[in-house]
Amino acid sequence: MRLPSLRKTPALQPTELTDVTQRAVEDLLREGESQNTLTSYRGALRYWAAWYGMRYGGQIGLPLPTACVLQFIVDHAERTTAKGLVSELPSEIDQALVRAGYKGRLGAMTHNTLVHRIAVLSKAHQLRELKNPCHDPKVRELLSRTRKAYAKRGALPQKKDALTQDPLQALLVTCDDSPRGIRDRALLLFAWASGGRRRSEVAGADMQFLKRIPDGFSYTLAFSKTNQSGADQPENTKPVLGPAADALEAWLQTSGITSGAIFRRVRKGGHVGEALSPAAVRDIVKMRCALAGVEGDFSAHSLRSGFVTEAGRQKVPLAETMAMTGHHSVATVLGYFRTEATLSSAAARLLK
């Protein structure tokens, strides 16, 4: 086959990327990443740069040597000594990082935060095709032993409390018939009843994916944490029925929303504004918990864990629960309501 000769478009080199192509690749990688992930990556990389600058007195550059990563771990992980729990980050640097806003509080990081910081650094090396110090056997072994040390001390991750049916009802009582109250009632019920939607999924809920059906609504979750490729799957469609459908209908009627974001800011005078942010969803949950006097450590994720926990209490088949939540891991789902199931188990009451 004879190809036409092109005068204006120069031939590319198959072994090299042009600057334009490289920027296009980076744009696609960035666009395909969730906003929450991008935000957390940027924060982690900013922290690495600040820590490196204060610890070594220079500007960070990749690839980092293995010794630098090992230093980062011992600076931020607590270990048991005769003096108690200590870490190696000098107090002066720790205070400077907090004052500058790179750290939220003084002291060692949680284990989850430390692992996340290392994972982000590893990703940065991987994307640049650089020798990765995070894959060094010394780093892997130290991280493994650190995790075991934390587990032996009982320093386990603290999960948010679950908003099961009863505390959820208490939150709904605080939602009056003002535009903001109508919105919050619809938001809480939509998030909970459609399978415990994540705060990013609630903030990103759009009218184009909402469909009226005889019993209420169906919502197509086109993109989620567990379906980032947008694969067309039967479980993408989430029913919004009963009280949740009634509350959503009331919000749509009150707000006059027919296109775009479903859940939006309500300004003074009841005027509907722009779409809510994921952080605003978290703030609504916390504010309603405070108004209801519900005690516990609750956040937006409490709606998700509450749905799964309530499903376990009511003996909903695991497959049905997972179809609603979108979980792919049985172990993850069981982790939400295994404690509840154990407390109600006949095996826990052998001594009557």
pLDDT at 127: 84
Q: What is the DSSP letter of 227?
A: B
Q: pLDDT exceeding 90 applies to what percent of the chain?
A: 50
200 and 333 inside one domain: yes
pLDDT band at residue 89 using 50, 70 and 90 as cut-offs: very high
Q: Would the pLDDT of 350 be above 80?
A: no
User: Residue 89 contacts by C-beta under 8 Å, 6 or more apart in sequence?
Assistant: 75, 76, 108
Q: Would the pLDDT of 69 be above 70?
A: yes
Q: Specify the CATH number for the domain of residue 89.
A: 1.10.150.130
- Residue-range definition of the domain harbouring residue 314: 165-345
> Strand, coil or helix: what is 138?
helix
Q: Which of 185 and 340 is assigned the larger pLDDT?
A: 185
pLDDT band at residue 66 using 50, 70 and 90 as cut-offs: very high
Query: Which residues sit opposite 211 in a β-bridge?
Result: 218
Neighbouring C-beta atoms of residue 79, cutoff 10 Å: 15
In a domain, 311, yes or no: yes
Least trusted range by pLDDT, from 24-28, 60-64, 200-204: 24-28
- For the question of whether the overall pTM of this predicted structure is more than 0.95, the answer is no
User: Could you identify the residue written with the tokens 């405070």?
Assistant: 290
Phi and psi dihedrals of 298, rounded to 5?
A: -110, 150
315 and 176 inside one domain: yes
257 and 291 inside one domain: yes
Last residue of a domain, one of 129, 152, 175: 152
pLDDT at 295: 85
pLDDT band at residue 119 using 50, 70 and 90 as cut-offs: very high
Q: What is the mean pLDDT of the chain?
A: 85
In a domain, 300, yes or no: yes
User: Could you identify the residue written with the tokens 């049985």?
Assistant: 330
Q: Specify the CATH number for the domain of residue 193.
A: 1.10.443.10
88 and 176 inside one domain: no
Neighbouring C-beta atoms of residue 293, cutoff 10 Å: 8
Q: Would the pLDDT of 255 be above 90?
A: yes
Least trusted range by pLDDT, from 32-36, 113-117, 227-231: 227-231
Whole-number Å distance between alpha carbons of 242 and 245 = 5
Q: How many folded domains does the chain comprise?
A: 2
